[in-house]
């Protein structure tokens, strides 16, 4: 690969410098550029193209010891802290449900009370030490679907009548 100098003297592949409307890469098909625009912006002044300037930003940045910079993580959650055993349990529950009822069947709309009741029943089974099925996965699945169904009701994607609690 041939390299050139980009913003702040950082190395960039030269093919990025020559990026124009006529040679727009497929993955950037929604980017609107004017004739002669450079994908990397104005390399002399460091001004970035509008589509880069419009990327979402919290306004806070994390500077890494390597010199790399990234938008701060505050308020975005820390998925890396979610126990993988919980992710496996809920993923398996979604798989089992897809096999038994059809993929995404639950998104057609189930009353919120059904998720609430099932969550409690599976919690009680856990408290009673039952091991006849993955009750942890069932609790996680019911709570996740309860939350998403509520969001879908609130956004108008599902009828308000499903909000029965």
Q: pLDDT digit string (tens) for 124-144?
A: 999 999 999 999 999 999 999
DSSP reduced 3-state for 34? coil
Q: Which positions of the chain have pLDDT values less than 70?
A: 1-44, 46
Q: Tell me: the pLDDT tens digits for 76-93?
A: 889 999 999 999 999 999
pTM above 0.85, yes or no: no
Using a 10 angstrom Cβ sphere, with 0-12 exposed, 13-18 middle and 19 or more buried, the burial of residue 25 is: exposed
At which residue do the structure tokens 């589509």 appear? Answer: 51
Query: What six digits make up the tokens of 36?
Result: 């002669």
**Would you state the pLDDT for residue 48?**
75
- Residues 6 or more apart whose CB falls under 8 angstroms from that of 41 comprise 7, 47, 48, 49, 52
Distance CA 67, CA 76 (A): 22
Distance CA 51, CA 98 (A): 39
61 sits in which H/E element: strand 61-63
**Would you state the pLDDT for residue 85?**
97
**Would you state the pLDDT for residue 15?**
46
Task: For the chain, report the end-to-end CA distance as a whole number of angstroms.
Answer: 60
**Would you state the pLDDT for residue 29?**
47
CB atoms within 10 A of CB 133: 12
**Would you state the pLDDT for residue 7?**
52
- Residues 6 or more apart whose CB falls under 8 angstroms from that of 16 comprise 6, 39, 40
């Amino acid at each position: 690969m041939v390299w050139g100098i980009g913003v702040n003297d950082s190395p960039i592949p030269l093919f990025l410098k020559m990026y124009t409307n006529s040679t727009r890469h497929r993955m950037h098909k929604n980017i609107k550029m004017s004739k002669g625009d450079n994908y990397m912006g104005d390399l002399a002044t460091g001004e970035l193209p509008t589509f880069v300037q419009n990327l979402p930003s919290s306004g806070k940045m994390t500077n890494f010891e390597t010199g790399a910079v990234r938008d701060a993580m505050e308020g975005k959650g820390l998925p890396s802290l979610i126990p993988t055993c919980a992710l496996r349990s809920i993923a398996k529950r979604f798989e089992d449900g897809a096999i038994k009822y059809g993929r995404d069947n639950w998104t057609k709309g189930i009353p919120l009370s059904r998720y609430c009741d099932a969550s409690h029943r599976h919690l009680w089974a856990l408290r009673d030490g039952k091991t006849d099925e993955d009750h942890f996965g069932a609790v996680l699945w019911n709570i996740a679907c309860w939350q998403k169904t509520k969001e879908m009701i609130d956004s108008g994607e599902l009828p308000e009548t499903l909000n029965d609690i």
